[in-house]
Chains A and B, each alone.
Chain A
Amino acid sequence: MAISRTSLWTEYKSARELTLNLTLRELKGKYKRSVLGWTWSLLNPLATIAIFSIVFKYFLRIQAPAGDPSGLKNFALFLVAALLPWNYLNNGLMGSMGALVGNANLVKKVYFPREALVVSNVASWAYSLLIEFGVAVVIYLVFGNMVLPWLPAVLLLIAIQSIFVLGLGLLLSVLNVYFRDVQHLITILLLVWFYATPIVYPISYVIDADNKHPELFGHGIPLLFLYKLNPMVRLVEAYRDVLYDLRFPPLFDLVYVTAFGIATLVVGLWAFRRLQGRLAEEL
């Protein structure tokens, strides 16, 4: 193993600045040469929300429940609270899978802590999420939802989600170097995951379906229990609690998601450290 006698502290400090600079590179580079620039990062979710609202509300007639206790009843606003965090997960993971492969030249020619590439990718998408939420907050306020006191809770949720996204991102980034079709597999899994999470429909629909068609999922199988093993279910519901319903999410859900996130990060870091030794050769 290569060992440097320079102190860990200076290494940590320079790694932090490196991560910051790489994040700025991601952000500055993202919309260079496009006329609308950063507006795109808002137009994109706006377009998705518009399309989903029309398709799911008017064609498929999905009813957004009224916010409890907020009393707000609006499908688009019901959607936003869950879709923006989902986009963060989706973009963060897809970006992570390109973080090492796309910077092969750098990895092969310069030594620096390779985690910085993944961290900066996730950080750049977290930054996008903050901007998107900033706009969303204004819209919530316009529709009379007083979300301002709940913003610290939103930040807490973003922090918890970031741990999860980073852990999964680290794992996928390094796997994708060894098996390039991880990214194609993940694209499909993300699609499944999207519909297995109550984003375009309320969670009550799952309970109803289980009650009405027990044969569909088999008798005696605790569907809701299984459904809620997916940490994104609880996370998305928590975002919705604070932004749409204006209530504090169940504590157990927060603990569950945090524990899941930390476990993912541990596994991700372990895999990354284990597999990064031969990165420069495998890329």
Chain B
Amino acid sequence: MTNASAAVSVSDVSKRFRLYHERNQSVKAAILRRGRARYDEFWALRNVSLDIPHGTTYGLIGENGSGKSTLLKCMARILSPDEGEVSTDGKVSALLELGAGFHPELSGRDNIFLNGSILGLSKAELEAKFDDIVSFAGLEDFVDTPVKNYSSGMYVRLGFSVAINVDPDILLVDEVLAVGDEQFQRKCSEKFADLKDRGKTIVIVSHALGMVRELCDEVALLEHGHLRAVGSPREVIEGYLDVVHDLQGAEGEPLLARGASDGRIQSIAVLDGAGRPVSRLRTGDSVIFRIHYRADEPVHRPVFGIAIDRSDGVLVTGPTTRDSHINTDVINGEGHVDFKVDSLPLLPGSYEIGASLFDLTRSRGFDRRTRILKFDVDPGRPHEHDGIVTLGGSWSGAVFEQPVSR
């Protein structure tokens, strides 16, 4: 049932797409094929129901093709569901593509009015907000320049500025947060925080799990068009990482072609200095990353590697046994390999670890699992905050060299 108190209410929504084999875009083709183009249907969304309460920041996550963007487009009324119903309470603005509908020959000023009215603003509202929009985009000197002369950054900034200044009750965002330089990004997050403070509803589709965890109050996980989980970011994202793990582990679908001799990564563990499994570490801790492998047939000259990603997908490091000239002639059966770190240089944040198994020449990959385990790092020693790693350096005091000449 539709929930009247929700900002966005999705009830039992299904959306079917057609995959055309041969597109019937000519009348001749339509007649030859007796009016029906040949296509397969697939359900991009199947019986999805969820309510997004007023004032929440809501994340939609899932693999590529899980239907999360389709769901967002249904909320934005760009797509209409084949079954079920989406209802929204309040003014909706969608940040799907910035500057969609800008006319290249028209000036920034004209485009603000045009784009604003496409997004549903009246002329009076636009006039009132015009200065805000221009200054937010930082384009005071270029309002009367045709937008075709804008740099791509300026273009996107103007698009973002118009869309966010629509002052929506419900803002739908699809992976467009990473626009502009650092200064502009800061302005964007301030604007989001401001919308959030004023009780507006924000729906975010993203792959950047770290950001979703940070921003969202509630998260929904979609998988192949089905709603898999709804809940707090922590629960759902951990569940998601398990799903990713399960998918790769259970179906054994390796990312690389397997060699004749079957070597596999079984699991990976993060252990503290005493060898106990942990999921939280501190900067400066002693830590062991342990890869459990299984070789059903002998694997000659194996190379093991791990890869640590920050939760937003930045690869932090990817050491391998070959880099350290650790040679094993052959592995057979089950066993493990350790990568020991005396003092963890990672700064506080969330990280994901994966492992790989190759042969020495890297010509044959046996197995590779990315982001199969998550761990968090808390502040430790040194007590630094900004960035990804500590260099373990030390500061001197200020050294006096010579007085300022006047």
Could you tell me which A residues sit within 8 Å of B by CB distance? Answer: 1-6, 13-14, 17-18, 20-22, 24-25, 28-29, 32-33, 103, 105-112, 178-182, 185, 277-278, 280-281
Question: In the complex the two chains form, is A25's CB within 8 Å of B85's CB?
Answer: no
A-B contact pairs, 14 of them (CB 8 A): A2-B74, A3-B86, A3-B87, A18-B120, A21-B114, A22-B114, A28-B110, A32-B146, A106-B100, A110-B78, A110-B119, A111-B76, A111-B78, A185-B27
Question: In the complex the two chains form, is B77's CB within 8 Å of A17's CB?
Answer: no
Distance, CA A21 to CA B123, complexed state (A):
9
Distance, CA A281 to CA B81, complexed state (A):
12
> Hey, what's the 0/1 contact readout for B108-132 against A, CB within 8 Å counting as 1?
0010011001111111000000000
Given contacts A18-B118, A32-B146, 4 further A-B contacts (CB under 8 A): A17-B123, A109-B100, A112-B118, A180-B26
Known: A18-B118, A280-B73. A105 touches B101 (CB 8 A): yes
B276 on interface, CB distance cutoff 8 Å: no
Query: From A108, which residue of chain B is reached at the shortest CB distance?
Result: B78
Within the complex, which residue of B74, B87, B100 is in contact with A105, where a contact is CB–CB below 8 Å? B100
* Chain B residues numbered 20-72 whose CB sits less than 8 Å from any CB in chain A: 24-28, 30
Distance, CA A109 to CA B100, complexed state (A):
7
**Interfacial chain B residues near A14, Cβ < 8 Å:** 117, 120-122
Quote the shortest CB–CB distance from A274 to chain B (angstroms): 12
Question: In the complex the two chains form, is A277's CB within 8 Å of B80's CB?
Answer: yes
Question: In the complex the two chains form, is B27's CB within 8 Å of A5's CB?
Answer: no
Query: From A11, which residue of chain B is reached at the shortest CB distance?
Result: B120
Question: In the complex the two chains form, is A25's CB within 8 Å of B106's CB?
Answer: yes
Known: A17-B117, A106-B100. A2 touches B86 (CB 8 A): yes
**Interfacial chain A residues near B87, Cβ < 8 Å:** 2-5
Question: In the complex the two chains form, is B94's CB within 8 Å of A111's CB?
Answer: yes
Question: In the complex the two chains form, is B101's CB within 8 Å of A106's CB?
Answer: yes
Question: In the complex the two chains form, is A110's CB within 8 Å of B94's CB?
Answer: yes
Distance, CA A180 to CA B30, complexed state (A):
11
Quote the shortest CB–CB distance from B18 to chain A (angstroms): 7
**Interfacial chain A residues near B146, Cβ < 8 Å:** 32
Quote the shortest CB–CB distance from B284 to chain A (angstroms): 48
B89 on interface, CB distance cutoff 8 Å: yes
B79 on interface, CB distance cutoff 8 Å: yes
B144 on interface, CB distance cutoff 8 Å: no
Distance, CA A280 to CA B25, complexed state (A):
15
**Interfacial chain A residues near B74, Cβ < 8 Å:** 2
Distance, CA A17 to CA B87, complexed state (A):
24
Query: From A178, which residue of chain B is reached at the shortest CB distance?
Result: B25
**Interfacial chain A residues near B79, Cβ < 8 Å:** 280-281
B105 on interface, CB distance cutoff 8 Å: yes
B253 on interface, CB distance cutoff 8 Å: no
The 8 closest A-B pairs by CB, nearest first: A109-B100, A111-B77, A32-B105, A106-B101, A21-B117, A109-B97, A180-B25, A2-B77
Distance, CA A203 to CA B119, complexed state (A):
49
Question: In the complex the two chains form, is A106's CB within 8 Å of B118's CB?
Answer: yes
Known: A21-B113, A21-B114. A2 touches B81 (CB 8 A): yes
**Interfacial chain B residues near A107, Cβ < 8 Å:** 78
Distance, CA A106 to CA B106, complexed state (A):
16
Tell which of B30, B80, B90, B91 has the most Cβ of chain A within 10 Å: B80
Question: In the complex the two chains form, is B106's CB within 8 Å of A29's CB?
Answer: yes
**Interfacial chain A residues near B80, Cβ < 8 Å:** 1-2, 277-278
Quote the shortest CB–CB distance from B129 to chain A (angstroms): 14
Question: In the complex the two chains form, is B103's CB within 8 Å of A25's CB?
Answer: yes
Within the complex, which residue of A20, A109, A181 is in contact with B78, where a contact is CB–CB below 8 Å? A109
Distance, CA A13 to CA B123, complexed state (A):
11
Quote the shortest CB–CB distance from A32 to chain B (angstroms): 4
Quote the shortest CB–CB distance from A106 to chain B (angstroms): 4
Question: In the complex the two chains form, is A281's CB within 8 Å of B18's CB?
Answer: yes
Within the complex, which residue of B90, B96, B101, B105 is in contact with A6, where a contact is CB–CB below 8 Å? B90
**Interfacial chain A residues near B390, Cβ < 8 Å:** none
Quote the shortest CB–CB distance from B27 to chain A (angstroms): 5
Distance, CA A47 to CA B119, complexed state (A):
41
**Interfacial chain B residues near A24, Cβ < 8 Å:** 110, 114
Distance, CA A149 to CA B87, complexed state (A):
53
**Interfacial chain A residues near B85, Cβ < 8 Å:** 1-3
Distance, CA A112 to CA B116, complexed state (A):
11
**Interfacial chain B residues near A181, Cβ < 8 Å:** 25-28
Known: A2-B74, A14-B117. A109 touches B96 (CB 8 A): yes
Quote the shortest CB–CB distance from A191 to chain B (angstroms): 18
Distance, CA A6 to CA B103, complexed state (A):
29
Distance, CA A20 to CA B117, complexed state (A):
9
Distance, CA A33 to CA B18, complexed state (A):
41
Question: In the complex the two chains form, is A18's CB within 8 Å of B78's CB?
Answer: no
**Interfacial chain A residues near B92, Cβ < 8 Å:** 4, 111
B350 on interface, CB distance cutoff 8 Å: no
**Interfacial chain A residues near B76, Cβ < 8 Å:** 110-111
Distance, CA A103 to CA B118, complexed state (A):
12
Quote the shortest CB–CB distance from B139 to chain A (angstroms): 19
Query: From B105, which residue of chain A is reached at the shortest CB distance?
Result: A32
Quote the shortest CB–CB distance from A252 to chain B (angstroms): 36
Distance, CA A222 to CA B128, complexed state (A):
64
Distance, CA A25 to CA B106, complexed state (A):
8
**Interfacial chain B residues near A106, Cβ < 8 Å:** 100-101, 118
**Interfacial chain A residues near B18, Cβ < 8 Å:** 281
Question: In the complex the two chains form, is B91's CB within 8 Å of A6's CB?
Answer: yes
Question: In the complex the two chains form, is A110's CB within 8 Å of B101's CB?
Answer: yes
Distance, CA A181 to CA B24, complexed state (A):
10
**Interfacial chain A residues near B94, Cβ < 8 Å:** 109-111
Distance, CA A281 to CA B113, complexed state (A):
27
Distance, CA A107 to CA B265, complexed state (A):
47
Question: In the complex the two chains form, is A33's CB within 8 Å of B105's CB?
Answer: yes
**Interfacial chain A residues near B120, Cβ < 8 Å:** 14, 18, 112
**Interfacial chain B residues near A180, Cβ < 8 Å:** 25-26
Known: A4-B87, A111-B94, A181-B25. A280 touches B114 (CB 8 A): no
